[in-house]
Amino acid sequence: MRVTMRRVLLVVGSVVALMVTLHLGQQVLECQQVLSERRHRLMRPENEELVMMDSNHVEYRYSKEMPLIFIGGVPRSGTTLMRAMLDAHPEVRCGEETRIIPRVLAMRQAWSKSGREKMRLDEAGVTDQVLDAAMQAFILEVIAKHGEPARYLCNKDPFTLKSSVYLSRLFPNSKFLLMVRDGRASVHSMITRKVTIAGFDLNSYRDCLTKWNKAIEVMYSQCLEIGRSRCLPVYYEQLVLHPEQSMHAIMKFLDISWSDTVLHHEELIGKPGGVSLSKIERSTDQVIKPVNMEALSKWIGHIPGDVLQDMAHIAPMLARLGYDPYANPPNYGHPDPLVVNNTHRVSVAAVRLSAATGGSAGVGLWGSAPTEPSGAEAAAEPNQKKSGGETDALFLLGDWD
């Protein structure tokens, strides 16, 4: 009887202990699940919004779902002009180059390409999902907070568009403007203005044109991969020759209402809600002027003869983008009357200032030396075959770098 009672007590105790253990185990699992959900929410900054307030106490909310605008291209291709014209719109803010965004994107790409590094990151729990969430949060934070808040935000860092496919995944409603310019003009501008770009030998037109070709090929291919609905090739030449027509097409592509202010960006430089310019960016002295043809054909007569003869081989992207690699000078088309008038104003102001300073300064009213008007006229000669774009792209030209 005594043994039987002991067994009964033992069984009952075991059952109770088992029930308590199961209950505690269930509690632990539920607690872990709650903590996991909380950690998951904390580690998902892409679901959170950045909230900013402007000087009028208007609240703006930004997230990865917003329609960010990315402007890029090979340096000296008109990216600064494009962002300045958009900046002139009352509902758009681009601001100066961040410089950090393309570098972080390059690092992210390097991590993915290195099999050993990716394995180490995965082993440490730093998966692609974690990295992408961090990239989203970082890029959005930089774009949103390095300038005044606005309804539409855009980023202009030329080499950012080497990662446009990746960015299109991070920000599903973003759109891209790829600035395309005659590579001969871009390279001449790099060399004469001594714009240092990693990997470009500024003592060699041949080397710079080869590097230009490689860079624009990568960007253009990614633009095509994203598709026409999200990436628009903007031809620099046509943007300056026909600013109103070009900007109407761009604003329609971006789904932003029209404003005449985008045609007069120079009037809004330094004004509240207008165009903010960097004191150290190389293009600042040019975009302070109205849209004009001042540097349309500056490259003509400066590229070595052997390079001109091999142009189609050195830079095959010229022909692919619609430029004639052997046209010297090229024909980019007829300028609008507004552009002709602006070009005349810039030239006259430059000559007057040069005369007033005894010709020693050589600096125009808007900050650069006057140029020969015949160069722009030659580039717009109507009796030549027009070059500078494909039929399915927006042929957007000019003197901006």
Show which residues are catalytic.
97
326: left (phi over 0), alpha (psi -120 to 50) or beta: alpha
Rounded to whole angstroms, the Cα distance separating 215 from 159 reads 9
Contact 101, 157 (CB under 8 A): yes
- 3 state DSSP class of 251: helix
Rounded to whole angstroms, the Cα distance separating 219 from 237 reads 18
**Vertex 252 angle, CA 251 and 255, to 5°:** 85
Q: Which amino acid is at 390?
A: E
Rounded to whole angstroms, the Cα distance separating 352 from 358 reads 10
- 3 state DSSP class of 52: strand
In angstroms, what is the C-alpha Rg of the chain?
Answer: 29
Task: Locate all alpha helices (DSSP H) within 73-204, ordered by sequence.
Answer: 79-87, 100-113, 115-123, 128-145, 164-170, 183-192
Q: Bridge-partner residues for 153, per DSSP?
A: 93
Rounded to whole angstroms, the Cα distance separating 387 from 182 reads 9
List the one residue out of 316, 310, 286, 296 whose CA is nearest residue 374.
Answer: 296
Q: Bridge-partner residues for 152, per DSSP?
A: 92
Contact 399, 295 (CB under 8 A): yes
Residue 332 has phi, psi (to 5 degrees) of: -95, -10
List the one residue out of 367, 123, 131, 337 whose CA is nearest residue 244.
Answer: 337
CA-to-CA dists, residue 348 to 252, 337, 338, angstroms:
35, 16, 15
Rounded to whole angstroms, the Cα distance separating 78 from 230 reads 20
Q: How many other CB atoms sit within 10 Å of the CB of residue 65?
A: 13
Task: Locate all alpha helices (DSSP H) within 88-127, ordered by sequence.
Answer: 100-113, 115-123
| Dmax (CA) of the chain | 126
